[in-house]
Structure 1
Amino acid sequence: MENYTELLSHFQSISLPALIDAQLMNRVDTKFVFRVEDLPELLIELQDKYHVLVVNQQRIANYENIYFDTPSKTFYLDHHNGKDHRYKVRYRKYGNSDNTFFEVKERCQNRTIKRRIQVDKFQHNLGVKATTFLIEKFPELPHLDPQLLNTYQRITLVNEELMERFTLDLNISFQFEGKSVYFENIVIAELKQAYVNRNSFAYQYMKKQQLRPSKLSKYCLGTLFTFDQPIKYNNFKYSFNKLKALNNAS
């Protein structure tokens, strides 16, 4: 991690208040997965093209999520089956700022719309405030239970001119009902844009490295590795096998 910290010190910084205009709550997302050993080269390549988010003097932030779904994994299966209109529901704690939000990500017509409310604490049940938010804003959603705990560290790169963010998630872990899995050898990157722009510096770098976009979200990845019952995954098989190979590589 020290090596990343040194490399990130060469980026110009951007603070949390300045990031508000680039929050991209209505956006297009593109995910990539690559080996953590390739991260230094990427940071060197992008250091003069992006700013790095700094919160409380930290360039690498700790994140903690609790995802909610039905016991039959409705949201997971909607994603797997390519349903055009689907959801992710979670609590998210931003460790470096101690802010916690209840968030709903709605995917529709290849766009991601994120709506959220700030809450007092990170908890393993919906609680009154979150339940009220769901009833008022998303009455169509079924009853939800906590399904997955997820932690990771994130580097957030920002290009204000292109109105995009490029997040890099490291040291990813998942836990569900006593079963846990840890991914220390991979990076899950996500390019977040107001509109699709394949001239993005980050996208062009990924293309140059022959890294193709991944369909697998962190929630779906964690579900695949921690759910102890058979679950449909044939549409994720390519990404699933690639992730296993990358994480097991020495």
Structure 2
Amino acid sequence: MTASLTALGALPPVSLEELVGTAALLTRVDRKYVLTPADAAAVLGRLPDARVLTIGGRRTFGYDSLYVDTPDLAGYHLAARGRRRRFKVRRRTYTDTGDSWVEVKTRGPRGSTVKERVAADDLAGARGFVDDVLRSSGVGDLTDRELVPVLGTRYSRSTLLLAGARVTVDTDLVWRTPSGGLLPLTDRVVVETKSGSAPSAADRLLWRSGHRPARISKYGTGLAALHPDLPRNRWHATLTRHLQETS
């Protein structure tokens, strides 16, 4: 993955405080692209006025997430069927600092993603927060439903700030099951743009370069890849093209 990350080395830095202050974007439109390292490097090196998050001289940071769902995978099935009211719940840990957050993702107007989160080391301690978010978002009341660990992910991320948008660059993605099984997405970079309703400069550059958004969800795609018996039509093209090509 060095080609894509090398392209970030020439970009000027931006601090975490400025990044959060100008583009927190907890309600946003997400567009995801799955690229080879060479294609990612070509695009990243041409982004206009981009700056890269830099903390203590580091530009790449480790992420570790644990996703929970009901035992019958209600959240997964809502996403697999493309339902308007759907959700994801995870504990995200920033491995460089050890800070952890419990995050709930739901869908807002016009296909936007709404993320709400609270600082917490474990999901059980944040269950009240999770239930409140799900009720207020219209997903429904899950207070009587158990939420159990179903999938883990880890990867390295770099974050870019553009005018009115953020771009994340994820490399070395590995999915894992609670029982310890591992599935890496080798030789691929997941680039995600996060902006308002209008496409960002990064999206327009990606489109001009021949790249189109891909249906990839770290939760949905990973679970479908690890459990072929689950409905997977929503992510079939991504699984067939990118996972088979890298296996």
- TM-score, length-normalised on structure 1? 0.88
Q: 2:159 aligns with which of 149, 156, 159?
A: 156
- The SS at the match of 2:216 is coil
| CA distances 1:25-75 after superposition (whole Å, capped 9, x unpaired) | 1111111111123222122212x4211011232101110000011122211
User: Are residue 16 (structure 1) and residue 19 (structure 2) matched?
Assistant: no
> In the TM superposition, what are the counterparts of 1:116-155 in structure 2 within 5 Å?
116-119=117-120, 121=121, 123=122, 126-128=123-125, 130-139=126-135, 140-141=141-142, 142-155=145-158
Amino acid across the alignment from 2:191: A
Kept after mapping to 1: 8 A contact 2:116/2:133: no
Per the alignment, residue 34 of structure 1 pairs with 35
Q: Secondary structure at the match of 2:49?
A: coil
Residue equivalent to 1:84? 84
The question of 1:188 aligning with 2:184 is answered no
Residue 223 and residue 5 in structure 1: after superposition, are their counterparts in 2 closer, same or farther (change >3 A)? Answer: closer
The question of whether the paired residues in 2 share the 8 Å contact of 1:37 and 1:185 is answered with no
Give the aligned residue type for 1:35.
T
Retained in 2: the 8 A contact 1:186–1:246?
A: no
> Cα 1:26–1:157, aligned 2, differ >3 Å: closer, same or farther?
same
* 2:101–2:117 contact (8 Å) kept in structure 1: yes
CA contact (8 A) 2:34 2:214 kept: yes
Q: Does 1:45 align with 2:41?
A: no
Distance 2:180 2:62 in 1: 22
- Which letter maps to 1:135? D
Deviations 1:195-234 (A, max 9, x none): 222xx2211221123222112211112101223x611112
- What code does the residue aligned with 1:146 have? P
Do the aligned partners of 2:3 and 2:37 also contact (CA within 8 Å) in 1?
A: no
Are positions 1:241 and 2:240 aligned together?
A: yes
Which residue in the other structure is 1:204 paired with?
204
> 2:166 matched to which residue of 1?
165
SS at 1:56 equivalent? coil
Question: How far off its partner does 1:6 sit?
Answer: 4.2
Shifted more, 83-92 versus 5-14: the winner is: 5-14
More strand by share: 1
- Give % identity: 27
- 1:129-152 per-residue CA deviation (whole Å, 9 max, x = no partner) reads x11212333342342111111000
- Match of 1:235, as an amino acid? R
Give the residue type in structure 1 aligned to 2:155. Answer: Y
Q: What amino acid does structure 2 have at the position aligned with 1:190? A: E
Structure 2 counterpart SS, 1:225? helix
**Cα distance in 2 for residues equivalent to 1:247 and 1:97:** 31
Unpaired runs of at least 5, structure 2: 136-140
Residue 151 of structure 1 contacts residue 172 of structure 1 at CA under 8 Å; is this kept in 2? yes
What do the CA deviations read for 1:161-201 (whole angstroms, capped 9, x no partner)?
A: 3x11111110000111232101121111111012222xx22
Q: Does structure 1 retain, via aligned residues, the 8 Å contact 2:71–2:146?
A: no
Count of equivalent residues:
237
CA RMSD of aligned residues (A): 1.8
Task: Give distance in 1, aligned partners of 2:189 and 2:4.
Answer: 13
1:98 paired residue number: 98
The Cα of 1:97 is off from its aligned counterpart by 3.4
Instruction: Tell me the amino acid that sits aligned with residue 149 of structure 1.
Output: G
Residues 80 and 233 in structure 1, CA contact (< 8 A), matched pair in contact too: yes
2:138 aligned partner: none
